[in-house]
Structure 1
Amino acid sequence: MCTSLTYTNRTDQHFFARTMDFPTTTPWRPSFLPRQQHWTTGLNDERVTQQAILGGGRLPIGIDNFLMADGINESGISCAELYLPHAVHYEPAAQAGQLNLTPQDFINWVLGEHTSLDAVSHDLPRVRLVNQTWHDEPYVYPFHWVLSDQTGQTLVIEPTGGPLTAQVNPSGVLTNTPVLEKHFENLNRLLGVNGATINVDTKKAAQHWLQSAQPLPTGSIPTNRFNHMAIRRLGTPKLSTEQTIPTLFTWLNEVRLPYDPAKRHQISHNYTHYRSVIDLDRHQYYFRPRTTERLQVIPLTTEMAQQWQTPVVFSAD
């Protein structure tokens, strides 16, 4: 039930931001994975990272592999996973001669083995996502992914059947089901704009919505969260450098899902575990957990990429 956006501010700085909404799990922590990190896919194939990674991850009990929800690598590309229930299509079994991954492996592969979005797009046709659990976790999760880089480009990968492809996302926003094109159609319908593409009319209508102080869509429904964030992003004048990080966290706070202690043992209780912002130009990871709301700013430095040889799990609090 996550909400995410990419953003380019007035001084052409590029950012990725998201809420991490998920049922109760092993705690999520800021996590660093080094170059040459050996890891095992959910299909028991060994791979090795070529790029250092910093992002939001967890190390499930009894599993020696990190599960990453989002992150940036040392080349400045980001990748994050969000839910896409009732729309994904995974292969029933591994396909001979292809690169077979479980859905939870995808971020480690993208960030650990690529230096550009073009390289990811070039490699996608050989990837097969397989309908198999990740290291005996109980579920196969229905994901789609959003990728971005220091050029401000935003790509979305939705495994809905056929070879994987990366589609450009001009809205810069992603939530959960439905698929991206349907989100565009729903947004334009709300704004009174024809068609299913994000265009100048969409932006003008979003600006008018905010200027006229109409209430933004609310609630946990993915369509409402997409429309809320898209109107904020498309309709707000470009932010200054000083405004950007605080404003992005404010926008994320508007769509966060509350934690209910009475429901903490329910498998279906989705809530916002953390909010994060990635500065794609400075390679900095901003992490704010639900528990303490303390903001951490962790850089992915050249020294870390070159010299740190073991994974590091930072305290969430």
Structure 2
Amino acid sequence: MDFPTTTSWRPVFLPRNYHWQTALHTPRTTRYAFLGGGRPAADFSTYLMADGINEGGITCAELYLPGVVSYASDPVADSINLTPQDFINWVLGEHATLAEVVADLPQVTLVARRWGNDPYVYPFHWILSDRSGQTLVIEPTGGPLKAQLNPVGVLTNTPILATHLQNLNDFLKIPGSEFTGRTVTAARDYLQSGAPLPTGTIPTTRFIHMALRRWGTRPMTTTAASLHQIFHWLAEVSLPYDPSRRAELNHNYTHYRAIIDISTATYNFISRKSGRLQQMTLTPEMAAHRHYPHAYAPE
């Protein structure tokens, strides 16, 4: 999770029937508990979530998409008006399935308003998945919101998914812009050849790097091995922190790495500061009996 802010991010649990307020000062109430990486607003009582999983098994994460997003200037009557930073709370707090999210998207208007005292209206696109193995991407590039399938299962910051897929095929010298079996075979062959992976902080490079890692690597045999390997992959594409730039509003660096195990609803979190693993599982008992938000202490 890369973000140009010095606010401390930490694991956060939000319960069922949690009354929260959008940045447009509209009250909303969650129907489903969820767990993810978040931070409190400095000037009103709501948590901003950057990613997470809810009790229905839906995951959602936000990533930058500067230059191409299209938000409404003002709220629209008879619409679900949200700021971009409100979107994950709406997805995870009010939906049990991806199908429900997709069905509700046409009712949503994303409004270009700042969230709390954030200095900017941030341009986002979102990646969503569930226990079926389906992965979707939502990109607000104009017109009613809609979801598209993401066959590669990887997303980074800008550009849009279609351009990422084209860049991946171009790198592997595969004709066309579709992610196909030929792309998978080429990714596996490339990784097994020992050729160097693309490196750097540019999102297009990070996308190709992670797509090659994912599709070129055979499945790990244990959960512990998978966690270790994926955290290593995430470290390879993390953005460095520069203490001398701490006060700069545009210093974008990796605050934490997180892995969500959808099969167990376990959230695995490593902060930049501690480098230690925190693991929390969203159990049915937690969802049913915890009635208040909880921000876990960073370790």
User: 2: distance between equivalents of 1:114 and 1:140?
Assistant: 25
C-alpha contact (below 8 Å) 1:26/1:60 kept by paired residues: no
User: 2: distance between equivalents of 1:265 and 1:129?
Assistant: 29
In the alignment, does 2:37 pair up with 1:56?
Answer: yes
Partner of residue 73 from structure 1, selected from 40, 46, 54:
54
**Bigger shift: 170-179 or 264-273?**
264-273
Identify the residue that residue 279 of structure 2 maps to in structure 1.
297
In the alignment, residue 272 of structure 2 is paired with which amino acid?
Answer: R
Shift of 1:21: 0.8
Query: 1:149-298 maps to which residues of 2 (within 5 A)?
Result: 149-242=130-223, 243-298=225-280
- Look up the SS of the partner of 1:80 in the other structure: strand
Shift of 1:131: 1.0
In the alignment, residue 292 of structure 2 is paired with which amino acid?
Answer: T
User: 2: distance between equivalents of 1:67 and 1:25?
Assistant: 14
Cα offsets for 1:56-107 (capped at 9, x unmatched): 0001322211000000001111001000000100011111111111101100
In the alignment, residue 87 of structure 1 is paired with which amino acid?
Answer: V
C-alpha contact (below 8 Å) 1:217/1:228 kept by paired residues: yes
**Bigger shift: 183-192 or 301-310?**
301-310
Identify the residue that residue 94 of structure 2 maps to in structure 1.
113
**Bigger shift: 136-145 or 211-220?**
136-145
Shift of 1:245: 1.1
Shift of 1:280: 0.6
User: 2: distance between equivalents of 1:210 and 1:258?
Assistant: 25
In the alignment, residue 248 of structure 1 is paired with which amino acid?
Answer: I
Shift of 1:136: 4.3
**Bigger shift: 242-251 or 73-82?**
242-251
Identify the residue that residue 76 of structure 2 maps to in structure 1.
95
Name the count of aligned residue pairs. 298
User: 1: distance between equivalents of 2:74 and 2:250?
Assistant: 28
- Superposed CA RMSD in Å reads 0.9
C-alpha contact (below 8 Å) 1:28/1:57 kept by paired residues: yes
User: 1: distance between equivalents of 2:113 and 2:279?
Assistant: 35
C-alpha contact (below 8 Å) 1:57/1:70 kept by paired residues: yes
User: 2: distance between equivalents of 1:316 and 1:135?
Assistant: 22
Q: Which has the higher relative contact order, 1 or 2, with Cα contacts under 8 A spaced 6 or more apart?
A: 1
In the alignment, residue 259 of structure 1 is paired with which amino acid?
Answer: Y
**Bigger shift: 270-279 or 256-265?**
256-265
User: 1: distance between equivalents of 2:221 and 2:145?
Assistant: 36
- Look up the SS of the partner of 2:255 in the other structure: strand
Identify the residue that residue 13 of structure 2 maps to in structure 1.
32
In the alignment, residue 120 of structure 1 is paired with which amino acid?
Answer: V
Q: Which runs of 5+ in 1 are unaligned?
A: 1-19
Percent of paired sites with the same residue = 56
Cα offsets for 1:155-190 (capped at 9, x unmatched): 000000011111000111000111000000011000
In the alignment, residue 67 of structure 2 is paired with which amino acid?
Answer: H
Shift of 1:137: 2.8
C-alpha contact (below 8 Å) 2:172/2:187 kept by paired residues: yes
User: 2: distance between equivalents of 1:296 and 1:136?
Assistant: 28
Shift of 1:315: 1.1
C-alpha contact (below 8 Å) 2:6/2:246 kept by paired residues: no
